[in-house]
């Protein structure tokens, strides 16, 4: 089964850039759970800044 998750943890509350270090930690945890990461796509705000990331994941167990 494939599913999409949005990652939008920011370094500072409410504003600032996305915490890429935290995203990488989450991706390692996801892969350790046996879930395959198919793609990681940035989602941009109207002004062109990265607002969040869309993760396409696949779980082969279900």
Q: What is the pLDDT of residue 54?
A: 96
Q: What is the pLDDT of residue 13?
A: 64
Q: Any idea where the domains of the chain sit in the sequence?
A: 2-59
Yes or no: say if 57 and 5 are a contact pair by the CB < 8 Å rule: yes
Model pLDDT for residues 24-60, shown as the tens digit of each residue: 999 999 999 999 999 999 999 888 888 899 999 999 8
4 pLDDT more than 90: yes
Q: What is the pLDDT of residue 8?
A: 86
Yes or no: say if 40 and 55 are a contact pair by the CB < 8 Å rule: yes
Q: What is the pLDDT of residue 14?
A: 59
Give DSSP secondary structure letters for 30-54. Answer: HHHTTEEEEEEEEEE-TTS-EEEEE
């Amino acid at each position: 089964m494939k599913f999409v998750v949005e990652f939008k943890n920011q370094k500072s509350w409410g504003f600032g850039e996305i915490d890429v270090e935290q995203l990488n930690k989450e991706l390692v945890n996801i892969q350790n759970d046996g879930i395959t990461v198919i793609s990681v796509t940035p989602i941009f705000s109207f002004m062109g800044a990265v607002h969040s990331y869309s993760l396409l994941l696949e779980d082969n167990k279900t």
